[in-house]
A and B are shown apart, each in its own frame.
Chain A
Amino acid sequence: MQTDPNGPNPKKSKDSPSNSANTESTQSPSPFPDEVLEKVLSFLNSDKDRSSVSLVCKDWYNAERWTRTKLFIGNCYSVSPEIVARRFTKIKSVTLKGKPRFSDFNLVPQNWGADVHYWLLMFANVYPFLEELRLKRMTISDESLELLATSFPGFRALSLMSCDGFSTDGLKAIATHCRSLTELDIQDVDMDDFCGGWLSCFPEDFGSLEVLNFATLDSEVNFDALERLVSQCKSLRVLKVNKTITLDQLQRLLLRAPQLMELGTGSFQQELLPGQFGDLGIAFSNCKNLRTLSGLWEVASIYFPVLYVACASLTFLNLNYTALRSDEFGSLLAHCPNLRRLWVLDTVEDKGLEAVGSSCPLLEELRVFPADPYDQHLHRGVTESGFVAVSRGCRKLHYVLYFCWQMTNAAVATIVQNCPNFTHFRLCIMNPGRPDYLTNEPMDEAFGAVVKNCTKLQRLSMSGLLTDLTFEYIGKYAKNLETLSVAFAGSSDRGMQCVLEGCPKLRKLEIRDCPFGNAALLSGLEKYETMRSLWMSSCNVTINACQRLAREMPRLNVEVMKDKESDDSRADKVYVYRSVAGPRRDAPPFVLTL
C-alpha cells in the first residue's frame, strides 16, 4: 500500500536532523505539539502506514489512535470489540471480515460464528458517529440491522458481501431509518428475500443515495418507488438492479440517471417494439460516464447494439451471469476497446477469448467462470488455447481467474512469458488432480513458470496434478506471495514446509484435500503468528498435533472441526489464526478450540 500522497510523511520529519536526538526516550518532549502530530497523521489513510506509525513510539501510538477514523479488521476474531474500543476513539468507518474464505464453498458449517451483533453493540456505545460499515463473510441478523439503523444518526454506507443471516425485513429498517444513507450495496449474500417492499421504505423525499446495488435479490420491487428514488438521488453513480427489472423499465431509469458510472441491468430479454428499442439506445447513449456494466441477466443478444455507444468508454464489463456464444460475444467486444476488466462465462469458448485478445489490448483483469461446473459435457468451456490467445493480445494482464477442464505446462509457460506482470494468478482445472493432458505429466512446471516469471505475484491458486516440486518452486521463487490456495495437491509434508519456509510475505494459506500432515503443520509454528490465518481441511493432521500447536503458540487460536464419521484422532478441518483476543467465546459446539 502506498502512503497517502497528499499528506506529508511523518516518518520523514522524524528522520530530519532536528529530530534525530529524540527518537526513543519517552521522557523527552515530542519535537512538536500533539496537535500538530495529530494533524499530520490525520492525512494518513492506509492501514499499513498507520500500523507502522503506531510502532514508532508511545506518543506516535497515541496520536495515531486518536486520529484513526477507518478501521479495517481482516479477521474479526483476531481482536475483540473491547480491545478496539479501548484503543480507538474516533472511528467512523469499519470494515470487518469474518469466516474463512472456504466458507464460500460450503466447507464451513452454518452457525460457525462471525456474528457482527456484539460488535454493533460496542459501536453503538463507543462510536455513535459511525458512518460506514462494510462486512464480508459475516453473519448479520435483522435485529442487528435494526440496531444499526437506529443507533447511528449519521450512518451513510452499508456494504454486505457474502454475508448471511438476514432478510428483507432488515433492509426495511435500513431504508426507513437511515436518513443520510449514501450507499446500500448487497452482493453474493445468503438472505431471505420475502418481498421487495423494503425499497418502498425509503422516505418520499429521500435523495442522498450514491450507490444502490440489489442485484442479488429476487423479489420484485415497486418500480414507481425505484423510479422516484433514482430521479431524486442526483448523485447516484452506481445502480445495480435485479432480474425483475425489465428493459423498458431500465430505459426509464436511465433517462433519470444519465450521470451513472456503474450500471447493473435487469433482464435483458424482453420483446421490445421498435420504438422502445430506439428509446433504449438513446437512453444508453446519454450515459456518458458509464464505466462499468453488469447484470445482463437472460440476455437476448439482438439488443446489444443499444449498448455499443456506451461500450466505447467501458472499463469493466461483467458478463459472468450471461451465457453468450462466441460470435455474439465477439461482436459486443468489438465495441469495447477500452476494457480493463472483463468477467465472462466460458460459454464464449476459446474463440470468444481470441476475440478478447484482439479487441481489448488494455485488458488487465480477466475472469472466466464455468457455466456448468459439474458436468463438462453440456458445455465445452474454455481450454488452454483461449488463455494463450488472451495472453498474446493483452500484455498488460495481471489478474486472472480461469476455470477450465484441461491445461498444459507449455501453455502456462507461454502465458507467463507473454504476461510477466501477474499479481494474481488463479487457475482452476476443474477435475481434481488432473495432469497435463498432452504429456500426462504433473502441472508442476506450469506453476513453476508462474512463480519464476512473475516476480510480483501476490496471490496464487493452484490446481491439477501437483507434486512437492511445485511447492519447492513456490518456496524458492514466490517472494512476494501473500495468499496461496491449494487443493488436491502435493506429495508429502515437504510441500507445505517449502512454502512455510520460503515465502516471507505469506499471510493467508488455505489448503484442502492434500497429504500434508502433522510435520507440515508444526513446521510453521513460528510462521503462523506472522500470517493472518491458515486453513487445512481433509488433510492428514491429527488433533494431538493441533493441541501441541495451541500449547506452544498461545497467541494463536487453533480451532478444529471434526467430520462425524472420521476417527477420533483426525482433525478434519483446522483453522489457525493469530489473535490478541484469546480463544473466541462464541464458538459453537462443533468447533473445538484447543
Chain B
Amino acid sequence: MSLPKEHDYIGLTEPSSMENSSSSIVSTESEKNTVLNLKETELRLGLPGSDFLEKKAGTGISLFGKDLKDEGNNGFSQIPLKNLVSGAKRVFSDAIDGSGKWDFPINGGSEVDLGNGGSENTNTLQSSLAGPSGKEIGNRNPRKPVEEKKNDNNSAAPASKAQVVGWPPIRSFRKNTLATNLSKNNDDEGKSGVGSLYVKVSMDGAPYLRKIDLKTYCSYKELSSALEKMFSCFTIGHCASHGLPGQEHLRENCLKDLLHGSEYVLTYEDKDGDWMLVGDVPWEMFTDSCKRLRIMKGSDATGLAPRLGMKYQSKEIMKPRKV
C-alpha cells in the first residue's frame, strides 16, 4: 500500500536509487517487520550504529535514520571503514581534505550557513559513528564480549571526536561555558583540549559571522584551511549566495586570494582586548587567549603588529613565529 503513494509523491528529479529502494520496500513489505526485527537483534560484529554507515554506503544517500533500503542486500556483513568511505565518497571527499585525517575542522559547533554547511552535516555524522564508538566500547563495557570484539576489529577507527551538527542537543552557550569551567576544574586530570572553545569569526564585507570551535584544530594550518572553506563564498563579491549553481569553479580562484594572497589578513582579539595578527605565538597560547577572529582587509591591518602590512608567503602565513 505504501508504494503507490510514494511514487505519487516522488518528484521527477528523484535519484534513481530512491525508486529502486522503494520497490525493494514493497517487495519485502509483508516480511518487513520480521526481517527488520531479526536484523535489529542479530549479534554481529560491527560498531554500534554502524548500521547507518553500512546502509548509506550501499545507497549513496545521506540519511541517518534506520531505513529499509538494504533489506534486499546482505548489507549487514562487516564493512571495514575504508570501504564505507569509498561507498559514500561524495559525502566524504570534502571533509578528508587530502590530509587523510578524520578530523573534521568544521564540526558540530559551527553555524550552519546558507548552504555551505550542509555537506558537513553528513560528513561529521559518518565519522562520529565510526570514531568514538570504537573507543567507547573498549573502555566502557568490559563485561560485554560482543562489543569488545567490535573494538578489536576496528582498531583502525579514527581517533578524533568528529561531531554531528546540533547533536547532542546542547545549546551553544552551554558548550562554551562548560569548556572554560571544565578546564579550570580539571587541571589535574592531565588532559588538554577538554570541551570546546567557540569563537566568532567575522570577515570584512561578509553579511554574517561564523562560529568555530578552536579546540578541534591542532595547528594554524588547519585553522586556515577551515576558514578558507567557510568564507570562500564571500570573496566572489555580491554573488556570494547561497548555493548558486556554477559557483564551484569560481571558488577555486578565490581560495587563493583569501588568505594566501595580499588581500586579507587573519587577526584575533585576545583576552586583553587587543587585536593581534594570527600566527605569532604558539598554537596553544593562541587558543588560550583568542576571544574572537576577524578576517580583515590587508589595507586595514596596519598598526596591528610590528610586521605592518607585510605580505605573507602562502606557506609561511600560519606557522607560529618564535618571538
Contact = CB atoms under 8 A, between A and B. Distances in A.
A162 B9 contact: no
5 contacts: A433-B65, A437-B48, A467-B66, A519-B2, A542-B13
Contact of B177 (A107, A189, A321, A378): A321
Contacts of B208: 110-111
Interface in A71-129: 102, 104-111
Interface stretch (A247-255, A351-359, A365-373, A386-394): A365-373
A297 B10 CA distance: 53
Nearest to A494: B2
Contacts of B110: 106
Contacts of A172: none
Given A492-B67, A565-B118, A518 B10 contact: yes
Given A513-B63, A569-B12, A589-B114, 9 more contacts: A106-B172, A107-B166, A371-B178, A372-B182, A437-B147, A440-B41, A491-B68, A492-B25, A493-B2
A432 interface: yes
B133 A431 contact: yes
Interface string A276-292: 00000000000000000
Contacts of A107: 112, 165-166
A501 to B, nearest CB: 14
B262 to A, nearest CB: 28
B146 interface: yes
A516 B67 CA distance: 9
A188 B185 contact: no
Interface of A: 102, 104-111, 162, 188-190, 216, 269, 297-299, 320-323, 345, 369-378, 380, 403, 405-406, 428, 430-435, 437-442, 461, 465-467, 485, 487-494, 512-519, 522, 538-540, 542-545, 548, 562-569, 572, 588-590
Nearest to B177: A321
B132 interface: yes
A297 B181 contact: yes
Nearest to A545: B9
A27 B242 CA distance: 57
B249 interface: no
B168 A564 contact: no
Interface in B129-158: 129, 132-133, 135-136, 139-141, 144, 146-147
B109 interface: yes
The 3 closest A-B pairs by CB, nearest first: A563-B118, A564-B115, A544-B11
Nearest to A215: B177
Contact of B117 (A321, A371, A563): A563
B24 to A, nearest CB: 12
B111 A110 contact: yes
B72 interface: no
Contact of B185 (A323, A461, A543, A568): A323
Nearest to B191: A378
B169 A434 contact: no
Nearest to A325: B185
B186 interface: yes
A215 B175 CA distance: 15
B140 A376 contact: yes
B239 to A, nearest CB: 11
B121 interface: yes
A569 B67 contact: no
Given A376-B132, A435-B48, A562-B115, A522 B242 contact: no
Nearest to B167: A432
A564 B116 contact: yes
B177 A106 contact: no
Contacts of A430: 167-168
A323 B132 CA distance: 23
Given A373-B170, A432-B129, A564-B243, A106 B109 contact: yes
B87 interface: no
Interface string B171-184: 11111011001101
B119 A565 contact: yes
Nearest to A518: B9
Interface in B62-80: 62-68
A377 B117 contact: no
Given A375-B132, A491-B36, A545 B11 contact: yes
Most B C-beta atoms less than 10 A away, residue of A431, A538, A565: A565
Given A321-B178, A442-B40, A590-B114, A548 B136 contact: no
A162 B132 contact: no
Nearest to B15: A567
A378 B194 contact: yes
Contacts of A369: 170, 174
A487 B170 CA distance: 14
Contacts of B132: 375-377, 431
Given A491-B66, A538-B121, A540-B63, A590 B167 contact: no
B65 A514 contact: yes
A370 B48 contact: no
B13 A569 contact: yes
Given A106-B109, A374-B196, A433 B52 contact: yes
Given A376-B136, A430-B168, A563-B117, A518 B186 contact: no
B103 interface: no
A405 B14 contact: no
B6 interface: yes
Contacts of A370: 168, 170
Nearest to B29: A492
A373 B140 CA distance: 16
A322 B181 contact: yes
A542 B10 contact: yes
A45 B314 CA distance: 65
Nearest to A487: B167
B36 to A, nearest CB: 6
Nearest to A430: B168
B43 interface: yes
B236 to A, nearest CB: 14
B49 interface: yes
B108 interface: yes
B82 interface: no
Interface string B251-287: 0000000000000000000000000000000000000
Most B C-beta atoms less than 10 A away, residue of A269, A322, A372, A465: A372
Contacts of B41: 439-441
Contacts of B146: 440
Interface in B3-30: 5-6, 9-15, 25
A332 B58 CA distance: 53
B125 interface: yes
B161 interface: yes
Given A430-B168, A432-B167, A323 B65 contact: no
Contacts of B235: none
Contacts of B140: 376, 380, 405-406
Contact of A432 (B25, B64, B90, B186): B64
Interface string B216-240: 0000000000000000000000000
Nearest to A548: B9
Given A109-B113, A491-B68, A374 B182 contact: no
A377 B139 CA distance: 8
B51 interface: yes
B163 interface: yes
Nearest to A495: B65
A395 to B, nearest CB: 28
A461 B169 CA distance: 11
A552 to B, nearest CB: 12
A441 B42 CA distance: 9
A376 B195 CA distance: 11
Most A C-beta atoms less than 10 A away, residue of B109, B118, B186, B189: B118
B170 A431 contact: no
B103 to A, nearest CB: 13
Nearest to B208: A110
Contacts of B184: 269, 298
A320 B146 CA distance: 35
B48 A434 contact: yes
A428 B171 CA distance: 14
